[in-house]
Structure 1
Amino acid sequence: MTDLQIKGLVKAYGPEAAVLDGLDLTVPGGALAAVLGPSGCGKTTMLRIVAGFLRPDAGSVAVGGRVLSGPGAHIAPERRRVGIVPQEGALFPHLSVARNVAYGLSGVDRTARRARVEKMLELVGLAGYGERMPHELSGGQQQRIALARALAPEPQLVLLDEPFNALDSALRAGVRDDVRAALRATGATAVLVTHDQQEALSTADLVAVVRDGRIAQCGTPEDVYHRPADPWVAGFVGDAVLVSGTADAAGAATAATALGRVPLAAAPAGPREGLVLLRPEQLRLTDAAPGETCGTVTDVRFYGHDAMATVTVEGLDAPVDVRVPGPVPVRPGGRTGIQVTGEATWHPAVVSPRACG
């Protein structure tokens, strides 16, 4: 297993077009890291630098202690032992599946090459597909063949550039699970670039959120979701309920908000005025009883496995979303009570919730 270390990466496409601005990222050996961020934040540029297709203006990239890019050093892409799974597979249309998988196995004798191809096809669940042509495969099968091709030369690092984008939602989850299982079976370190928050949270061991060419936060999916570094990260990695609050006396892990008094994960150490972060699943719809926090339902969105109710509450500038694990008990226009469950995250700066989405 080999780790990936990116230090101080800088890349600009002109005097006023800085894309990466001192990006740092460490991925432990054998881990799958998802690099998540909005369009234009620099995640694809980072991937291209790690692959060797671009030279950075500053900073370094090393895998297993071997410097691939840095001051006075730039190893060619084909010598980096880095496998790449591009969008939509990008298989060679004139080559069979077996020849596609074997493409990177130069210098390997025919018997060993055939055995390696068979092993890779079995690993991705497509044993016996070697004689087929790419156009005879489904989109999901093509992506798995692309992964087999990337893994065949036994790379130290595998880069996946939004490989599930072209798949429909029903197919995407299954292919994603197959890819993750294959990567873990080989022990390869991997980096998945995506703009899909749910994909990053459900697939990766680590999630790195990129903002303006830097890592805004890197941690386990649970840490990034439940303990976001700031309101922007909170709103980017999932649905967020952000309300202004006033922390109680020093040392107390509670805050007063328009939703009532809310328990905090930790007592605030700074100013008492700030922002309280909750997730929609931490809110419950209740009977609109006197003395409780109440609001009016303005919208209901049904997703099958759950539903989201939007509720306006007096004292809040913006409505709040409440995730309901079943039929919503009230319809738009109805009155409802709201109850907070669990602990909230506190952010000391007072930021308008509307600016954090």
Structure 2
Amino acid sequence: MTELRIEGLSKAYGPDAPNVLDGLDLTVPGGALAAVLGPSGCGKTTLLRIIAGFLRADAGSVTVGGRVLTGPGVHLPPERRRIGIVPQEGALFPHLSVERNVAFGLTGLDRTARRRRTETMLDLVGLAGYGERMPHELSGGQQQRISLARALAPQPALVLLDEPFNALDSALRAGVRADVRSALRLSGATAVLVTHDQQEALSTADLVAVVRDGCVVQCDTPQQVYQRPADPWVAGFVGDAVLLPATADNGKAVTALGTIPLMRGEGPATGTVLLRPEQLQLTDAVSAAAGGTVTDVRYFGHDAMVTVAVDGLDEPVDVRAVGPLAVQPGQRTGIRVRGEALLHA
């Protein structure tokens, strides 16, 4: 297994242009899948291209398995980096069969070894027996899995996935993500997935690195990033967030929704409390500590998002409700908070 270590990476597109990457640091343990998540323009694609060797960094270093790929006076060309790339939409060679696509990067092997390795890779991605087919005979999801097989076939030190599920419809995307994740784990490869899809990052990766303005503002497990975001911006970016003004009092936050225990016990005297919509529960309007008027209901089948204009708050809050809905827009409702909250200054 090979660790990816990025230190102080900076890049600007011109002498007077602002930095796209600004001293970015990131470490991905060997064998882990890390998702680099951020809004458009934050530097995700630039980071991927520097790791792959397609761009030169202005400063900083990229090391894979202790081998320096980019650093002061060092810039290995892409073909010497032992990095596999899974681009958007597969990008298979249309004139080559599936077998020949997968075997494309297998140089230095005899025909028998190439065929054996190709068959192993097709089996790994769940497409054994598809070797004679042409790319146009495959579905979009199958093409992405073949692209992964092609990237893994030369046994690279690192695999880069550049928003590889964007072109797939929503019904297919989750299944292909699960297949790709399983194949990467079975291969033991270290991988970096670049995405702007929060659900994709949280459900697929071992680590999530949230990038803002060219820097990693938080890198942790999906659960930690979601439950303990570094600041209110991260909280709102990685999922639906309920942000409330609050004051701290003896390890609790006093808010318009009542008094809520704090995760860390202590915090700033005043600040912004973070809750998730699933922590809020609709209750009887008379007995609840807080209440308001329902302004909108969005039904998704497995749950619904209910927007409530809360008494004493300038902004409405969203409540994720599970089960039969007993409220409609215009009705009064109570709100109860479950669990603990984070308080940010």
TM-score by length of 1: 0.95
4+ residue stretches of structure 1 with deviation over 4 A? none
CA distance in 1, matches of 2:318, 2:272: 16
Could you tell me which residue of structure 2 aligns to residue 286 of structure 1?
Answer: 283
Q: Aligned with 2:103: secondary structure?
A: helix
Could you tell me which residue of structure 2 aligns to residue 117 of structure 1?
Answer: 118
Q: Percent identity?
A: 76
Could you tell me which residue of structure 2 aligns to residue 355 of structure 1?
Answer: none
Could you tell me which residue of structure 2 aligns to residue 312 of structure 1?
Answer: 309
Could you tell me which residue of structure 2 aligns to residue 352 of structure 1?
Answer: none
1:23-73 C-alpha deviation (Å, 9 max, x unpaired):
000000000000000000001100000000000000000000100001000
Would the aligned equivalents of 1:96 and 1:134 in 2 still touch at CA under 8 Å?
Answer: yes
CA distance in 1, matches of 2:263, 2:251: 7
Instruction: Give, in angstroms, the shift of residue 76 of structure 1.
Output: 0.9
Could you tell me which residue of structure 2 aligns to residue 76 of structure 1?
Answer: 77
1:6 corresponds to which letter in structure 2? I
2:142 corresponds to which letter in structure 1? Q
2:243 corresponds to which letter in structure 1? L
Could you tell me which residue of structure 2 aligns to residue 240 of structure 1?
Answer: 241
1:259-316 C-alpha deviation (Å, 9 max, x unpaired):
011111012343x111100000000000111562111000000111110000001111
Instruction: Give, in angstroms, the shift of residue 95 of structure 1.
Output: 0.5
1:107-147 C-alpha deviation (Å, 9 max, x unpaired):
11110000000000000000010011000000000000000
2:139 corresponds to which letter in structure 1? S
CA distance in 2, matches of 1:52, 1:327: 53
Count of matched residue positions in the alignment of Structure 1 and Structure 2: 344
Q: Which runs of 5+ in 2 are unaligned?
A: none
Q: Which runs of 5+ in 1 are unaligned?
A: 349-357
Would the aligned equivalents of 2:257 and 2:290 in 1 still touch at CA under 8 Å?
Answer: yes
Could you tell me which residue of structure 1 aligns to residue 129 of structure 2?
Answer: 128
CA distance in 1, matches of 2:270, 2:32: 39
1:216-245 C-alpha deviation (Å, 9 max, x unpaired):
100000110000000000000000000000
Could you tell me which residue of structure 2 aligns to residue 202 of structure 1?
Answer: 203
1:55 corresponds to which letter in structure 2? R
How is 1:111-260 mapped onto 2 (pairs within 5 angstroms)? 111-248=112-249, 252-260=250-258
Could you tell me which residue of structure 2 aligns to residue 7 of structure 1?
Answer: 7
2:133 corresponds to which letter in structure 1? R
Worse overlay, 300-309 or 261-270: 261-270
CA distance in 2, matches of 1:332, 1:269: 36
Could you tell me which residue of structure 2 aligns to residue 354 of structure 1?
Answer: none
CA distance in 2, matches of 1:208, 1:186: 22
2:314 corresponds to which letter in structure 1? D
TM-score by length of 2: 0.99
Q: Aligned with 2:104: secondary structure?
A: helix
Instruction: Give, in angstroms, the shift of residue 86 of structure 1.
Output: 0.2
Would the aligned equivalents of 2:36 and 2:211 in 1 still touch at CA under 8 Å?
Answer: yes
Matched, 1:265 2:266: no
CA distance in 2, matches of 1:61, 1:16: 23
2:7 corresponds to which letter in structure 1? K
CA distance in 1, matches of 2:341, 2:227: 9
Q: Aligned with 1:215: secondary structure?
A: strand
Could you tell me which residue of structure 1 aligns to residue 333 of structure 2?
Answer: 336
1:189 corresponds to which letter in structure 2? T
Would the aligned equivalents of 2:288 and 2:335 in 1 still touch at CA under 8 Å?
Answer: no
Q: Which of residues 295, 298, 302 in structure 1 aligns to 2:299?
A: 302
Matched, 1:29 2:27: no
Worse overlay, 15-24 or 78-87: 15-24
CA distance in 1, matches of 2:330, 2:108: 71
Q: Aligned with 2:326: secondary structure?
A: coil
Could you tell me which residue of structure 1 aligns to residue 45 of structure 2?
Answer: 44
Would the aligned equivalents of 2:248 and 2:267 in 1 still touch at CA under 8 Å?
Answer: no
Would the aligned equivalents of 2:94 and 2:135 in 1 still touch at CA under 8 Å?
Answer: yes
1:67-112 C-alpha deviation (Å, 9 max, x unpaired):
0001000111111110000000000001000000000001111100
Instruction: Give, in angstroms, the shift of residue 253 of structure 1.
Output: 1.7
CA distance in 2, matches of 1:306, 1:326: 7
1:324 corresponds to which letter in structure 2? A
Would the aligned equivalents of 1:307 and 1:327 in 2 still touch at CA under 8 Å?
Answer: no
